[in-house]
Structure 1
Amino acid sequence: MIWSVIAVLALGSMGILALSLRAKTELNNQADSSPAIFADQLAELDRDVARGVVSATDADAARIEIKKNILRQAQKDQSGPLVSTRGSRIALWIAITFVPVAAVGYYSQFGNPALSRVAVAEQRQAREENARIVALTEQLKTRLETDAEGGPSDGWMLLGQTYMRLGRFGDAAAAFQIVSKREEATSAVFSMLTEALVAQENGIMTSAAEAAINEAAARDPSNPAVTYYRALALQQAGRSAAAHDLVMARLDAADGYYPWMDTLVAQANRIGDGIGRDPISLARFAPMLAGRGPSAEDVTAAQEMSQEDRAAFIQSMVQGLADRLKDEPDDLDGWLQLGRAYSVLGNAEGAKDAYKNAAALSADLPQTDPRKAIAAQALESLSQ
């Protein structure tokens, strides 16, 4: 279908240009005729314009030429009419022939109408989904703002989290700020406010962000976000060694494995890399994961690899873990680690399957076991 349309448009454009060229050439070649012929030419030109054969712009130019020829004839100027050179006519014929052919050739080589339709459809679907989320978000904001009691805190927190996902960090901070002023504000409220304030400033710990994280610490000193953002502030203040010590102390104080430890281990390695300290692995702080992930030596080796080699190395480590779990399907901690690895790699289906296995294994565990909540929360997050 697309090729039929291209062919029709190409032939149509060539025909119109050819008629225009032919009409103007004939007018010029008759420049030495009598005034009566010139009058006929003007009349014929008007009819061509009415039929749409010649554009108004071309017609105006042709009328000027005809009138010039009438004046020359009246003055018996035998020098001949002003006409297009043969070379110009040849060049124009080449252009009107070559351009459509070249365009068709280029499209046949590089074009893909089917792919274009798919891309357009996906873009349209993404825009529609984004517009729907934005509309629902604004509806939620309106309900909260018009609530006689100021709107429930859970609603404002949901609004702030939605704004964070939309990249509207200033609006997210404003939503969290409303809850932070209430008596029931928890440490988590202030750490989320800190996150929004830092994101709003492109990763910079401002005085407002430091004040928010201090409030979080006052309510719960063990909140891992307090360690993360205070270490970030120290690092940005040029105190990287102190920042690294702070993170390491928080990891050493952990009494088991928790999801936030992955983030702090990564932060410690980023800071330590800049000050010449040895890399660390999660297994150092969570013994139940020993032997199930990359060692400190593996981390060091990965840092020295190229981007492609590092990606291949990580994939091999994850695949090795997945293969081992086929032989040891009752390893709860292993399934949790595989789920985290797949999440980092963007393999949502793989992560979901891993966390489903972890959830099944943790079903009979007491509610106080953090691994039970980790699996449940991860599955809930992946299902959104």
Structure 2
Amino acid sequence: MIWGIFAIMAIAGLTIALFPMRRAGMAPVLRADAVPAVLVDQLEEIDRDMARGLVSAPEAEAARQEIRRRMAQVLRRADRQTVTTTGGRGALILAAVFVPVMAFGYYSFAGAPDVPAVAFADRADERADTRRIADLAGQLRERLRADPDGGPTDGWMLLGQTYARMGQFDEAVTAFRTASGRDDAVSATWSMLAEAMIRANDGTVTPDAVTALNRALTLDLSNPAAAFYLAIADAQAGEVGAAHDRLTARLAETPGYQPWMDTYIAQANAFAQTLGRAPIASRAPVARSPSAADVAAAQEMSEGDRAVFIRSMVDRLATRLEDEPDDVNGWLRLANAYGVLQEMDKARDAYLRADALLPEGDARKAEVRASIARLENP
């Protein structure tokens, strides 16, 4: 299912990116029917990306705010709208919202212990979408190359992210390398380049990737992807102890809980098992429901639109959990969401599902059981 969402978002994002590069006066673009589902899916995807360390909290919140703003606009306008802008940069930034950021993507989607690898092109029902994405990506690439100014950096980043999601990592490397050569390249640009290099080399952290990762850390010492892949490089060089030390040191120097810590801890514990060292306990708190935050942030919506928005989020999460019943964080989110909606029986049932999945010794188990007790004895 997740790859189908990526396909939809990539098509939507590239389509938005390509239209402004053409002359004004284009044919109308239907948004009222197609965009809301994409936006709701993207909000859920941001939560999952953040939980796996793909995006930072500020990046995630900025994306959520933009998506909610667009959701509110679409809910107020159910008619056709015509795209007539002539500028490319602003639309490319907007389009990037629809394509998941690649940062921390390789181990979050391909190498994380609890995430099975999925070959994008292996799904027969998605091959048509794959061809459409490839065609749109090719058009975007040619337009960027034809731009006398070399094309906006945002466009090359969007192109690299799209190629990476399609599994075309050599092309992703080319796009990210172009973006990294710009004066406005940031730390994430370099870590995305490194990730594409790693993926293009079947998971091997090459010397060029190490150079890119070190550049990413130079620009931002807090970049979790850069430190993570350098630890992988240590391990691949036979320095498993150094790899474990790098991850645990980063965890020790970071207060509180950050979503990327789950990936760090899982990998550190894999190293610890090899080394005979003690495992690290998860720092993850009980997952918060997105619904309460979404309600507070969706101030522009009318009361009726807001209720529809919240219900759609909760129903989508519940439907997803039918297909992914082992997602403990999903059950915790659903329990909190039902609590916000005052559907206490459903909240209790969701907490019970989470409790059954949480291992003994997990700090969240006591909090979950306390929540169950409160719901059973109000």
Higher percent of residues as helix: 1
Task: For CA contacts below 8 A with separation 6 or more, give which structure has more relative contact order.
Answer: 2
Calculate the TM-score normalised by the size of structure 1: 0.44
Calculate the TM-score normalised by the size of structure 2: 0.45
